[in-house]
Amino acid sequence: MNYPLANIIAIVFGADDMISLMMVLLILIVFLATWAINRISVLRIRKISNQSKEISTIMQHTLDITKNYVLRVDVRERTAYNLHGNMLPEKGIAFEKSLEFIHPDDRPLFRKFIIDLVKGETTNAECVFRWDISGDQHLGQWWYMRDQGVAEYANKTDKRPTNIFCTLTNVTEQVHLENEEKKMTGKYKKMFEQSIVGLAFYDSDGHLLTVNQKMREILNFQSEDDPYYYGHTIYEMPSFRNVLDKQLCEDFYFCTLSVIVERSVYCYTELRLHPIHDENGQLQFITLSIRDVTQERELYLQNKQNDIDIRRANAEIQEYENELQYLMDACDMRFFRTTYPERVCTFYKSMNKAEDKMPFDELMEHFVDSPFRQGLTDFENYFNVPRTDLTQMHPFFHDGDELQWNFIDSVPSFNSEGKLIGTYGVVRNVTPLIEKQEQLKRETERANQSGIMKSAFMANMTHEIRTPLNAIVGFSDVLPMLTAPEEKKEIIRVIMNNCDMLLRLINDMLAVSELGDGGIHIQPIRTDFSQDFNDICISLAQRVQATEVEFIKDNPYDSLMVIIDRERLTQVITNFVTNAVKYTQQGHIKVGYEYREDDGGGLYIYCEDTGAGIRKEDQDKIFERFVKLNDYVQGTGLGLNISKAIAESCNGKIGVISDGEGKGSTFWVWIPCKKTDNTEPHKK
């Protein structure tokens, strides 16, 4: 049988005892429940306390690691105290006193930051200001501090906080980096905007992304975001409509007459298009450069016409000289007749009237070192045949003491017996003609030299710009493929160096035609030539295309700090390697340098190749302008001449070592310079 527990207890103890026992049990249960609840509460409080301590410890370690400062600003006392760190004095600092350590330009911003928190306009705020860490010394050692403030209220109904807790972080390095990035971005933007050619960037679909000011001028943009150019793709532009394929976009370079009716563009342009692909070969961007060559074309046509005019003028002058010999009335010309027995010369301005008669002795005094002067002393042997001579004479028909050029034609005169009795002929004052001829020669020579120098300048400009431009384009193609920040930073540094060199080359090439009028301007700076040499070789190694030619770099130093013009030395090394590539079909091209203490110290740079070599008789003239030993090899003959000019401008030396044809060559240059440290460079 089943009996309830209460019935069993009632049977054993009776009804009254059962009630007492139930009361005791109930009290015991309440006590145990209360004890259990209290115990659980104590354990929970301890756990929360331990968690709070752990959180406090973690926050303390975090603040120590991040090197942040935590301050408490007592609003009523208008005083700030350290909570973490020792940014302020131990006893705190008054608000007005703290302003003395804040940069004057940042004080208004800081005041507004505090006032907004104090007035309750916001519960948290942030500002960046400069703090003088030198303290009361006021040395102006400014740190950029980011202040994140939080207001604490005693009650939710309060309108003003009781305390403001500020977390200050030193962001000096970050601010400097941001400023450097802005400065660098500004440089690139300036380079882009101030380019001498029009530049534009398009996306893979051919939509215009950005252009520089030069492009806007050439293509006659009507606004910054001209809807015509931004609304049409590059594939739709007249110059590329039938030649550019999106699916097979390649490099283009051509000159054409650009006509855009919608924008009244009509000019001759030089266009260069370069696609940029990603690592998978997919088209990403398209770069376009445009150069307006209308004026150059007009100058070329004008020079061509000038050449025709000069040839025509020379022919006319020749014809004029032939006619002038027999024309008296319109020219400063006189007939003369000499009588040998009487030793006298008679001059005629007209055919029937003598102008002057002069003895031989007096006539000889007017000649200046002329054969006619000697002939008058030996008349029979000299004037027995026709004579023609251009001679200088003291004037005897004109006022003044300046020497005159006279053209004298003399024909012998004989009597019936065949005996020489005298001469006759004409004397022409051709001083103006000679002066015009000399002037014409000078002008002709100057015109010829101008044409030569212009052609040489353009060719040399292309020659010199190719290396940095190839480096910029090449590394720009590589840059999107890189993922490591260190690699990107290194590539960007190389691109920047080549950009600087490219700008320097553009400025310096303007002075190539004036090398004889003052030389090349040298700007030495302190630089690590070992690093510069590595950068140069990275670019130059790309020029060695022949598989049978090995490019060798000999850099014996980890670091070599010297004061030099690194861009000029880059020009010299580039010219050396360029020549070596042209004349070396197999073997190696080795570029190296070393620092020598000779003659006060300097850099000895050399380029050794196993190419065609140079004959002994040609080694002295290869550094002259426009000299090329092989006309079938591309080049202008200016590279080595520019290298020589650079070496001379640096007070250095340049030369070549070669045992003859087929035995290779070694071009070298020595540039005096000083190391900027007292320790010897560490050799590899």
Which pLDDT tens digit goes with each residue over 329-374? 566 778 788 888 888 888 877 656 677 888 888 888 888 777 877 7
CB atoms < 10 A from the CB of 415, how many? 9
Query: Mean pLDDT lowest for which of 100-114, 419-433, 501-515?
Result: 501-515
In this prediction, residue 104 carries a pLDDT of 92
Residue pair 674/562 in contact (Cβ under 8 Å)? The answer is yes
Does the pLDDT of residue 60 top 60, yes or no?
Answer: no
Is residue 292 helix, strand or coil?
strand
User: What spatial distance separates the first Cα and last Cα of the chain, rounded to whole Å?
Assistant: 104
Does the pLDDT of residue 266 top 80, yes or no?
Answer: yes
Does the pLDDT of residue 105 top 50, yes or no?
Answer: yes
Instruction: Please report, rounded to a whole number, the percentage of residues in the chain having pLDDT higher than 70.
Output: 82
CA torsion angle for 528, 530, 531, 537 (degrees, to 10)? 140
In this prediction, residue 555 carries a pLDDT of 93
pLDDT, the chain, mean: 80
461 contact partners, CB below 8 Å, separation of at least 6: 505, 506, 509, 512
Average pLDDT over residues 551-574: 90
Average pLDDT over residues 510-536: 77
With cut-offs at 50, 70 and 90, classify the pLDDT of residue 242: confident
Higher pLDDT, 328 or 139: 139
Q: Tens of pLDDT along 575-585?
A: 899 888 888 98
In this prediction, residue 593 carries a pLDDT of 94
493 is written with which tokens? 């540094």
With cut-offs at 50, 70 and 90, classify the pLDDT of residue 672: very high
Give the whole-angstrom CA distance, residue 221 versus residue 265: 10
Does the pLDDT of residue 647 top 50, yes or no?
Answer: yes
Does the pLDDT of residue 176 top 50, yes or no?
Answer: yes
In this prediction, residue 681 carries a pLDDT of 52
With cut-offs at 50, 70 and 90, classify the pLDDT of residue 325: very low
Query: Mean pLDDT lowest for which of 146-150, 166-170, 431-435, 464-468?
Result: 464-468
From 230, 202, 207, 371, select the one nearest 288 (Cα to Cα): 202
Give the whole-angstrom CA distance, residue 452 versus residue 291: 22
Beta strands in 163-231 (DSSP E): 163-170, 198-203, 208-211
The label of the residue with tokens 């007749």 reads 337
Average pLDDT over residues 28-47: 73
Residue pair 529/653 in contact (Cβ under 8 Å)? The answer is no
In this prediction, residue 684 carries a pLDDT of 45
Residue pair 665/614 in contact (Cβ under 8 Å)? The answer is yes
Average pLDDT over residues 25-51: 72
Does the pLDDT of residue 256 top 90, yes or no?
Answer: no
With cut-offs at 50, 70 and 90, classify the pLDDT of residue 665: very high
In this prediction, residue 178 carries a pLDDT of 83
Average pLDDT over residues 472-499: 82
422 contact partners, CB below 8 Å, separation of at least 6: 337, 338, 339, 340, 412, 413
Average pLDDT over residues 423-435: 81
Higher pLDDT, 684 or 554: 554
Average pLDDT over residues 584-599: 91
Does the pLDDT of residue 269 top 80, yes or no?
Answer: yes
Q: Tens of pLDDT along 217-238?
A: 888 999 888 999 998 888 888 8
Does the pLDDT of residue 654 top 90, yes or no?
Answer: yes
609 contact partners, CB below 8 Å, separation of at least 6: 580, 583, 584, 587, 588, 589, 590, 664, 665, 666
| pTM flag (> 0.85) | no
Does the pLDDT of residue 83 top 50, yes or no?
Answer: yes
Report CA 419 to chain centroid distance, whole Å. Answer: 83
In this prediction, residue 610 carries a pLDDT of 92
Give the whole-angstrom CA distance, residue 83 versus residue 459: 71
Count Cβ atoms within 10 A of the Cβ of residue 397 and give its class: 0-12 exposed, 13-18 middle, 19 or more buried. Answer: middle
* Ramachandran bin of 590, using left for φ above 0, alpha for ψ from -120 to 50, beta for the remaining angles: beta
Beta strands in 415-493 (DSSP E): 420-429
Higher pLDDT, 417 or 9: 417
Count CA atoms within 13 Å of residue 413 on its CB side.
12
Give the whole-angstrom CA distance, residue 603 versus residue 594: 6
In this prediction, residue 556 carries a pLDDT of 92
CA distances, 622 to each of 155, 282, 657 (Å): 92, 47, 12
Among 135-139, 249-253, 255-259, the range of highest mean pLDDT: 255-259
Instruction: Please report, rounded to a whole number, the percentage of residues in the chain having pLDDT higher than 90.
Output: 13
With cut-offs at 50, 70 and 90, classify the pLDDT of residue 501: low
Can you spell out the DSSP letters for 571-635? HHHHHHHHHHHHH-SSEEEEEEEEEE-GGG-EEEEEEEE-SS---GGGTTTTTSTT--S-TTS--
Does the pLDDT of residue 436 top 90, yes or no?
Answer: no
Give the whole-angstrom CA distance, residue 116 versus residue 125: 8
With cut-offs at 50, 70 and 90, classify the pLDDT of residue 55: very low
CB atoms < 10 A from the CB of 130, how many? 21
Average pLDDT over residues 45-57: 57
In this prediction, residue 636 carries a pLDDT of 55
Residue pair 494/538 in contact (Cβ under 8 Å)? The answer is yes
Among 164-168, 540-544, 675-679, the range of highest mean pLDDT: 164-168
In this prediction, residue 238 carries a pLDDT of 84
User: Which neighbouring-strand residues pair with 283?
Assistant: 277
Does the pLDDT of residue 671 top 90, yes or no?
Answer: yes
Residue pair 573/537 in contact (Cβ under 8 Å)? The answer is no
Average pLDDT over residues 117-123: 83
